[in-house]
Amino acid sequence: MARRGSAHGPKGPPRSRDAEAAAARCAAARRRVISMSYNANSAHLGSSLGVVEILDAVLAVSDLRQATARAAERDRVILSKGHAAMAYYAALEQYGLVDPALLDVYLQNGTPLWGHVGLTEAAPAIDATSGSLGHGLSLAAGFALGHRLRGRDDLRCFCILSDGECDEGSTWEAALFAGARKLSGLTAIVDYNHIQSLAPTKEVMDLEPFADKWRSFGFEAIELDGHDWAALVAALSRPSRGRPRAILAHTVKGKGVARIENTVASHYKPALAADLEPA
């Protein structure tokens, strides 16, 4: 039996679609990412800062809450770009889905939160171990097909990808499968910051015309500002057109720390003490 709303329509208002509340959550998540990076001397600061609004919006429209985190039948969230783990942990904290004390000791020996997201009883909301890029969309398509086979077309599966991993054939194989099977419960969100590990995406392998590529694989494609939370929620919530959806979210790598914004180096450099001070 489908719950109110489904993959074929909105599920009704998620918890707090209020833009001011969302802005406060995202600001708190960015502060947390910076402190985690500084305390652990951890890289991938830029990748994490740029995806904050995307992750908050996904959690807002999903049914993933404390009461459902361990449920077998619920929405699924796959962070394919697993190196943005700090942002996901910070987002989960905002929704009460991880113990804040674990974020205080991020990457210390013996702690369950790794530099790439991994399955752990400490955070049951995490649905897949990732970080080996190019595999997340296949996992997400599998979840979406499983929902259909169990008669749960009301459930959603969200996959957050990097633009760099869209160079990989495995991503497009999964896209071809999802489009051919018309997996309308699947939404791929690409963090389109136009910078991958060693250079701008345009210099490595130009993805444009990017939206047209997704459409040619059977997806509905939407382009938007990846820091516009309201636009993200609207795109994630709109009724399905009977096929999977790709949201190309244009973002700023390193958003919120001016010295590293839109730089390749932000992929590798950790936060500095000066970054802990509010801008």
Residue 185 lies in a domain: yes
- Tell me: the pLDDT tens digits for 129-186? 998 899 999 999 999 999 999 999 999 999 999 999 999 999 999 999 999 999 999 9
Give the span between the Cα atoms of 90 and 26, in whole angstroms.
Answer: 9
In this predicted structure, what is the pLDDT of residue 223?
Answer: 98
Residue 246 lies in a domain: yes
Q: What is the pLDDT along the chain (279 residues), one digit of tens a residue?
A: 334 344 344 444 444 458 899 999 999 999 999 999 999 999 999 999 999 999 999 999 999 999 999 999 999 999 999 999 999 999 999 999 999 999 999 999 999 999 999 999 999 999 999 988 999 999 999 999 999 999 999 999 999 999 999 999 999 999 999 999 999 999 999 999 999 989 999 999 999 999 999 999 999 999 999 999 999 999 999 998 999 999 999 999 999 999 999 999 999 999 999 999 864
Question: CATH number of the domain that 112 lies in?
Answer: 3.40.50.970
> Average pLDDT of the chain?
93
Give me the amino acid identity at 29. Answer: A
In this predicted structure, what is the pLDDT of residue 18?
Answer: 84
In this predicted structure, what is the pLDDT of residue 197?
Answer: 87
Q: In what order do the strands lie in the sheet with 157-162?
A: 76-79, 157-162, 186-192, 245-250, 220-225
The domain in which residue 34 lies consists of 19-269
Residue 199 lies in a domain: yes
- Tell me: the pLDDT tens digits for 252-262? 999 999 999 99
In this predicted structure, what is the pLDDT of residue 277?
Answer: 83
Residue 279 lies in a domain: no
Kindly state the tokens that stand for 270. 């950790």
Residue 4 lies in a domain: no
In this predicted structure, what is the pLDDT of residue 6?
Answer: 42
Residue 77 lies in a domain: yes
What is the chain's alpha carbon radius of gyration, rounded to the nearest angstrom?
17
In this predicted structure, what is the pLDDT of residue 133?
Answer: 92
In this predicted structure, what is the pLDDT of residue 189?
Answer: 98
Count of domains forming the chain: 1
